[in-house]
C-alpha cells in the first residue's frame, strides 16, 4: 500500500498561490475583470474568481452627477486592493480601476500632445477639479478661458476637451488647460478669417477693449488694433473721447501682417484729408484765429481747424518774455490770434507766430521816443558792462558803463547805481531788428554835450587855459566841477588836485567852493578835464622865468613869494 504524504505548509501555500494565479499572476494591485452577481443596498457584489466576492459602491460606476447603469451579469473591471479583509471579503475598487486605466491612457495622450476629454466637477483653491474618466486633474483659474471668467457654473458637469500641461503619476498630479484648446481653435479661426481680409478693405467691427494707445476691434473672430492716431485727423488725447466698448464702428484695414496675424485699422482714413490744399488755405503771412490744444516746453500747438494744428515755437510767443515756459504765456483751450510763418504740407507742419500778431513794442517805442529824447525807468539789473533800464512798453534799454557818468571809470560809475533805482537817460540808438535800445545817463549832466547841444570848445575853453571852477560834487576819485558861472562841467582826478599828497585829498574841498584850475584836455565828447597840479607847475615855471632862476641864489620859495606878491598887487 502506497504511503499517503500529507502536504506541508509550503505545499499548501503553493497550492493556494496557484489557485490565485501564481506568483507572477497575483491579484493584489491589479485591475481584473469581474462579474456582477448581485446588487444590495447601493452596493454591487463582484466575483473576480477569488474565494469570496467583493463589494463596490454603485456610485463608483456612475459618471459625475448621474446614476449608475449596472445590472446583474454585467462584466466590469475593478482594482484588487486586497484579496481578503477582516470579514473575508475581497477589497475591490471601481474608481481605482478607472483611475489606473485612465492614467495609462492619459500618459499615452500626453506623449502625443493630444486633447483629452473631461468634466469640471468641483472648486478648489486657485482653480477647479476635472474628472478625466477616472483621473482627477487640476484646472488653474487662469487656464479656464482666454479672458477672465466671473461665473464658471455654466461650464461645470459638461464633457469638454482639455490640454494636459503637466502630469506626474508617482505623485498623482495632473494639470490641464481649457484655455489652450480655445486659443488653438481661435488661431485656426483667425487663420481662416485673415485669408478673407485685404488691406484697404472697409469692414464693420465691435469695440472689445480700450487702452490709452488705442482700441481693439473684433472683426468677427479676429481682433484688429485701432491706434489712437488713426481715430481722427484732429488731436485725440484718449480713444474714449470718440468710442466706447460695445460700439459698432466702420473701419478700414490699413495693414495686415499674416505672419503675426496682426491687423492695423483706421477710422480717419474714411474721412477727407484736411491737409489737402493746406498751402492755399493757409498762406504765409495770413492772420488766423485758433485754439491752444497742447503745451510743451518747446512751444504750444494751435488748432486752426479739426485735423490741422500748427506749432508756435517758444521763440515766437512773446516779444519781451524770453526764456519763459509757454504755459506762462498761454493756456490750454485759449483762443489766440496767430500769423502763418511757414507751411509744409508734405510733412504736415505749419509754423505759427503768436508775437507777430501783436504790435512790436520796439517799433512802438521808437515811434514814441526818437533818438535824443529823454526817458525814465527803473534799474532792472546791473551787469559788469552796464545797467539795464526797464522802459514803457515792457522793453529794456541798456546804459553802457562808459555812458553812466563823466570823468570816472566805468567800474566806479556802475557803483553809483543800484537795482530798483529810478533814473533818467537819453535815447542814443534803437535797433528794432536786434531788439536793442542804447541809453546814456552822463549826457544829461550839466555842461555835457547832450544838455543843450553846446560843446566845451563852444563855451570858450581852450587847452592850457586857466579858469575858475566851482565844485559841484565831491567823490572818492576826485571832483566834479563847472567852469565859470554856467560853463561846461568837467572832472578833476584825485592825482590832479595838487602836487603834494596832502593836497590830493578830495574831502578837503566843499561843494560850491571856487578855485583856479587849468584845462588839460577834452574827452571824446569834448568835455573838459581840469588840473590844479598842472596849474601849479605852470605857475612855478612862469615865476622862475620872470623873477630869476634858482642859480641866482634866491630860493624857490622866495621866487614864488615874489610872484604871488606881484600877482596880488596887480
Structural fold of domain 466-547? OB fold (Dihydrolipoamide Acetyltransferase, E2P) (2.40.50)
As a residue count, the chain comes to 570
**Beta bridge pairs of residue 438:** 398, 429
Which residue, 422, 402, 425, is CA-closest to 412?
A: 402
- Here the cell at position 359 is 504790435
Q: Which fold has domain 26-90?
A: OB fold (Dihydrolipoamide Acetyltransferase, E2P) (2.40.50)
**Which residues sit opposite 423 in a β-bridge?**
377
Report the run of H or E that residue 400 belongs to, with start and end: strand 395-400
Q: At what angle do helices 532-547 and 556-569 cross, to 10 degrees?
A: 100
Measured from the Cβ of residue 229, the count of other Cβ atoms closer than 10 Å reads 13
**Cell representation of residue 466:** 586857466
Q: What is the chain's pLDDT, residue by residue, as a tens digit (570 residues)? A: 444 455 555 555 455 455 544 443 456 667 778 887 888 878 878 777 777 677 777 777 776 667 777 777 888 877 777 766 656 567 776 767 777 777 888 888 888 888 899 999 999 999 999 988 778 899 999 999 888 888 888 899 899 999 999 998 888 899 999 999 888 887 777 777 777 888 889 999 899 899 999 999 988 778 889 999 889 888 888 998 899 998 999 999 999 887 777 899 999 888 888 888 888 888 999 999 999 999 999 999 999 988 888 999 998 998 888 788 999 999 998 999 999 999 998 888 999 999 888 888 888 888 888 888 899 999 998 888 889 999 988 899 999 988 888 767 778 788 888 888 889 999 988 888 888 899 998 888 754 544 434 444 445 678 888 999 999 888 888 898 888 776 778 889 998 999 888 888 999 999 889 999 999 887 655 678 899 999 998 888 887 777 655 454 455 555 555 555 555 554
Cβ–Cβ contacts within 10 Å for residue 542, how many? 11
Cell of 553: 641864489
Query: What stretch of H or E contains 380?
Result: strand 374-383
CATH class of 197-270: mainly beta
Tally of CA atoms within 13 A in the half-sphere of 79 that contains its CB = 15
Q: Counting Cβ atoms within 10 Å, is residue 20 exposed (0-12), middle (13-18) or buried (19+)?
A: middle
In three-state secondary structure terms, 341 is strand
Q: Which three cell numbers stand for residue 31?
A: 485591475
Residue 122 burial (CB count, 10 A): 13
Beta bridge partners of 379: 389
Closest by CA to 245, choosing from 210, 293, 295, is 210
Residue 562, pLDDT score? 58
Three-state SS string across 185-235, please? Answer: HHHHHHHHHHCCCCCCCEEEEEEEEEECCEEEEECCCCEEEEEHHHCCCCC
Assigned C-alpha cell, 33: 475583470
C-alpha 387/C-alpha 397 separation (Å) is 8
Residues 6+ apart with CB under 8 A from 433: none
Label the pairing between strands 262-266 and 223-227: parallel
What are φ and ψ of residue 108, in 5° steps? -70, -40
Report how far residue 498's alpha carbon sits from residue 516's, in angstroms, rounded to the nearest whole number. 12
Task: Provide the 8-state DSSP code for 357.
Answer: G
The verdict on domain 371-444 having CATH code 2.40.50.140 is yes
Read off the DSSP letter of residue 4. Answer: P
First to last CA, the chain: 200
Residue 214's contacts (CB-CB under 8 Å, 6 or more residues apart) are 225, 226, 227, 228, 230, 231, 239
Cβ atoms of residues 219 and 203 within 8 Å:
yes
Query: Which pLDDT does position 323 carry in this prediction?
Result: 82
Give the pLDDT of residue 527.
74
Strand partners, 471: 481
Strands 395-400, 478-483: pairing kind: unpaired
Supply the pLDDT for residue 4. 45
Question: Per-domain residue ranges for the chain?
Answer: 26-90, 113-183, 197-270, 283-357, 371-444, 466-547
- C-alpha cell read off for 228: 489712437
CATH of domain 283-357: 2.40.50.140
Domains 26-90 and 466-547 share a fold: yes
Q: What is residue 339's predicted lDDT score, i.e. its pLDDT?
A: 93
Tally of CB atoms within 10 A around 7: 10
Nearest C-alpha neighbor of 42 from the set 75, 79, 67: 67
Q: What CATH homologous superfamily does 113-183 map to?
A: Nucleic acid-binding proteins (2.40.50.140)
Amino acid at each position: 500500500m502506497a504511503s499517503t504524504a500529507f502536504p506541508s505548509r509550503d505545499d499548501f501555500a503553493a497550492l493556494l498561490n496557484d489557485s490565485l494565479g501564481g506568483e507572477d499572476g497575483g491579484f493584489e494591485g491589479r485591475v481584473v475583470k469581474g462579474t456582477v452577481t448581485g446588487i444590495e443596498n447601493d452596493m454591487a457584489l463582484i466575483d473576480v474568481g477569488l474565494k469570496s466576492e467583493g463589494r463596490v459602491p454603485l456610485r463608483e460606476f456612475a459618471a459625475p452627477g448621474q446614476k449608475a447603469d449596472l445590472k446583474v451579469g454585467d462584466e466590469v473591471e475593478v482594482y484588487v486592493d486586497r484579496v481578503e479583509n477582516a470579514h473575508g471579503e475581497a477589497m475591490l475598487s471601481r474608481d481605482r480601476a478607472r483611475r489606473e486605466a485612465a492614467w495609462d491612457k492619459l500618459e499615452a495622450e500626453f506623449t502625443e500632445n493630444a486633447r483629452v476629454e473631461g468634466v469640471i466637477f468641483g472648486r478648489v483653491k486657485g482653480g477647479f477639479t476635472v474628472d478625466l474618466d477616472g483621473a482627477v486633474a487640476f484646472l488653474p483659474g487662469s487656464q479656464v478661458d482666454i479672458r477672465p471668467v466671473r461665473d464658471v457654473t455654466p461650464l461645470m458637469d459638461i464633457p469638454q476637451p482639455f490640454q494636459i500641461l503637466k502630469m506626474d503619476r508617482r505623485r498623482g498630479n495632473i494639470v490641464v488647460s481649457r484655455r489652450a484648446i480655445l486659443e488653438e481653435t481661435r488661431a485656426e479661426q483667425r487663420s481662416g478669417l485673415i485669408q478673407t481680409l485685404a488691406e484697404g478693405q472697409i469692414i464693420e467691427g465691435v469695440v472689445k477693449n480700450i487702452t490709452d494707445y488705442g482700441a481693439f476691434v473684433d472683426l468677427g473672430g479676429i481682433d484688429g488694433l485701432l491706434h489712437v492716431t488713426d481715430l481722427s485727423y484732429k488731436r485725440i488725447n484718449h480713444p474714449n473721447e470718440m468710442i466706447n466698448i460695445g460700439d459698432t464702428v466702420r473701419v478700414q484695414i490699413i495693414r495686415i501682417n499674416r505672419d503675426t496675424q496682426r491687423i492695423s485699422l483706421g477710422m480717419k482714413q474714411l474721412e477727407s484729408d484736411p491737409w489737402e490744399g493746406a498751402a492755399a488755405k493757409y498762406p504765409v503771412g495770413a492772420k488766423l484765429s485758433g485754439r491752444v490744444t497742447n503745451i510743451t516746453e518747446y512751444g504750444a500747438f494751435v488748432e486752426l481747424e479739426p485735423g490741422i494744428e500748427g506749432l508756435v515755437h517758444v521763440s515766437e510767443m512773446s516779444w519781451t518774455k524770453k526764456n519763459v515756459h509757454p504755459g506762462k504765456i498761454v493756456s490750454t483751450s485759449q483762443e489766440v490770434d496767430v500769423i502763418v510763418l511757414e507751411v509744409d504740407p508734405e510733412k504736415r507742419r505749419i509754423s505759427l507766430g503768436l508775437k507777430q500778431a501783436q504790435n512790436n513794442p520796439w517799433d512802438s517805442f521808437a515811434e514814441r521816443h526818437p533818438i535824443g529824447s529823454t526817458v525814465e525807468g527803473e534799474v532792472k539789473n546791473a551787469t559788469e558792462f552796464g545797467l539795464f533800464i526797464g522802459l514803457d512798453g515792457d522793453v529794456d534799454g541798456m546804459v553802457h558803463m562808459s555812458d553812466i557818468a563823466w570823468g570816472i571809470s566805468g567800474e566806479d560809475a556802475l557803483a553809483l547805481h543800484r537795482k530798483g533805482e529810478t533814473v533818467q537817460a537819453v535815447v542814443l540808438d534803437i535797433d528794432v531788428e536786434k531788439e536793442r535800445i542804447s541809453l546814456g545817463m552822463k549826457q544829461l549832466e550839466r555842461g555835457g554835450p547832450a544838455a543843450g547841444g553846446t560843446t566845451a570848445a563852444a563855451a570858450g575853453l581852450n587847452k592850457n587855459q586857466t579858469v575858475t571852477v566851482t565844485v559841484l560834487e565831491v567823490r572818492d576819485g576826485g571832483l566834479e566841477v563847472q567852469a565859470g558861472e554856467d560853463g561846461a562841467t568837467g572832472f578833476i582826478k584825485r592825482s590832479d588836485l595838487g602836487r603834494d599828497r596832502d593836497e590830493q585829498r578830495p574831502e578837503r574841498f566843499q561843494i560850491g567852493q571856487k578855485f583856479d584850475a587849468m584845462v588839460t584836455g577834452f574827452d571824446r565828447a569834448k568835455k573838459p578835464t581840469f588840473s590844479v597840479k598842472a596849474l601849479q607847475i605852470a605857475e612855478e615855471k612862469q615865476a622862475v622865468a620872470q623873477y630869476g632862476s634858482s642859480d641866482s641864489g634866491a630860493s624857490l620859495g622866495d621866487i614864488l613869494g615874489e610872484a604871488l606878491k606881484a600877482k596880488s598887487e596887480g
